[in-house]
Chain A
Amino acid sequence: MEIRDKKEGEVIILEPVGRIDTNTSGEFEDKIVEVLDRGETRFVIDLKEIDYISSAGLRVFLMAAKKLKSSGGSFVLCSMSDHIKEVFDISGFTPIFTITSDQATGAEAA
């Protein structure tokens, strides 16, 4: 899957494109681990170009949050479509993540 990454100030912004499901979640996880290994600790994951997240995809967010928490980093999700927001709401994940409406507020919160 395509995952763009850029750095703005101290914050790493990841922009995955398409679906995060059983087939692509491994790649997405590898990307997050790679950026974590570079020593980055402040993350924004912009989901504006994600059409679908399965439970395997949610697991990657969970792993990333756990890893960052143990290393004192922070992690913000932004620009979710209603459909993606629903996936987070149903699974009960919404309260455990910081979620913002757009990238700019996401970067401030990270």
Chain B
Amino acid sequence: MSENHQVRNLNALLEVAKALGGEMQLDNLLPIILQKTTEVMDADRSSLFIYDESTNELWSKVAEGLDEKEIRFPVGIGIAGDVAKTLKTANIIDAYDDDRFNPEFDKKTNYRTKSVLCMPMMNNEGNLVGVVQVLNKKDGESFGSQDENLLEALSVQAGVAIQRAQLLVAFVEKQRIQESLKLAADIQMGMLPKNFPAFPDRDDFDLFASIIPAKEVGGDFYDFFLIDEEHLCFVIGDVSGKGVPAALFMAVTKTHVAASTIPGVEPSDILFRANNDLSKDNDQGMFCTIFYGILNTKTGEVHYSNGGHNPPYIVREDGTNEQLDGTEGIALGVMGDMDFGVKTITLEKGDSMYLYTDGVNEAMDAGGNEYSYERLEEYLRSTAGKKSTEIVSGSLDDINSFVGSAEQSDDITVLMVKYTG
């Protein structure tokens, strides 16, 4: 190699390094690589094919001198495909003498490919990033060994720049997904009433609720409101699955249930209506288990319906407790026109109802043991004389100390309403 050539090549490489160093966007990077490669290699055209590991294909967006569009082909097809497969450089004097060459592209673009130099691009870990191909050496000769050396140096730089850009795309995408999940979780939590005491001017009942969301957004919710002066509605629900779909379905369920609540109407009819609304166009098969109660604040009578939810507990003033009898009913959203039953239980002064989601009884310790109904009942027995705020917080503490360092996999939600007459 003449000294002149060496200086030219070193300068060219330096220029490429500068051009690639500042560019992080893949879409901008590819034209720069092509332009520089064509220039430095003293070639007529260059192409760059990026390796898609998930489909084992090569794709290209830029073809210099032609309109931009994406082309894709499997590894193994054509000269570039073969180079990707064998990871061996192809240096061809006339493409038309090579079996791997596909002249279709020449015909379409009215071009005559002659000399071809085609090389795999590897990243730092030695994995294939893509294939670079230069066509028609300008002085009419084919590409020589010094061209091979130069293209190799170029493709090392290009490979690293492309990988860096790809990593950035993946990182930004991951950030975006995490942000949208966080947003979904915030919206979901924002829908739950959280100001306690919720009814500061009422001394005939006492209500508290709390939720500990799992790391990944889930679909637990609770709700409570006065239907009229004498009737308190309280609800707890758990949507199947996790993530944004569960958060959305939870929002829709909470809204439908509240909208179906009309003074004087039984819980069974309210759930029947809400279920029909939720079952329409529910192609994803989402559903929500729900417990719906109405407390008559004058008499202590509770009318309730259970749509496939874990049975709440009735907790007496002295801590003794038992699970409520179930009613006919299915999780909301499963199918329309399902019947729901209604039952009545009367709370004495000091009695409460403890509502929870399966995140409570199924909370797991590091050894894979469940918190279980037995532990929950034992805890509830220790709550004699306490207010609902204390019982709920104490319950979450008890679950926490049982779970220890194990990761929480499901939302944990508790709602308690105490009748104080």
Contact = CB atoms under 8 A, between A and B. Distances in A.
Interface in B237-263: 238-242
Contacts of A62: 285, 287, 334
Contacts of B309: 90
B291 to A, nearest CB: 11
B308 A59 contact: no
Contacts of B328: 92
A66 B283 CA distance: 9
Interface in A53-99: 54-56, 58-59, 62-63, 66, 90-93, 95-96
Interface string B293-311: 0000000000000011111
Given A63-B285, A66-B285, A93 B334 contact: yes
A90 B326 CA distance: 8
A59 B242 contact: no
Interface in A21-43: 22, 25
Contacts of B334: 62, 92-93, 96
Label chain A's interface by main secondary structure. helix
Contacts of A95: 330
Interface in A2-21: none
Interface in B327-364: 328-331, 334-335, 338, 358
Interface residues of A, number: 16
Nearest to B306: A92
B308 A92 contact: yes
A59 B307 CA distance: 15
B286 interface: yes
Contacts of A56: 240-242
Contacts of A96: 330, 334-335
B383 interface: no
Contacts of B238: 55
B37 interface: no
Interface residues of B, number: 25
A90 B241 contact: no
Nearest to A55: B240
B242 A91 contact: no
Nearest to B311: A90
A75 to B, nearest CB: 14
Nearest to A69: B335
Nearest to B332: A92
A93 B285 CA distance: 13
Nearest to B239: A55
Nearest to A22: B242
A73 to B, nearest CB: 16
B46 to A, nearest CB: 42
B289 interface: yes
Interface string B409-421: 1100000000000
Interface string B307-331: 1111100000000000000101111
Contacts of B335: 96
Interface of A: 22, 25, 54-56, 58-59, 62-63, 66, 90-93, 95-96
14 contacts: A22-B242, A55-B287, A55-B331, A56-B241, A56-B242, A58-B331, A59-B285, A62-B285, A66-B285, A90-B289, A93-B308, A93-B330, A93-B331, A96-B335
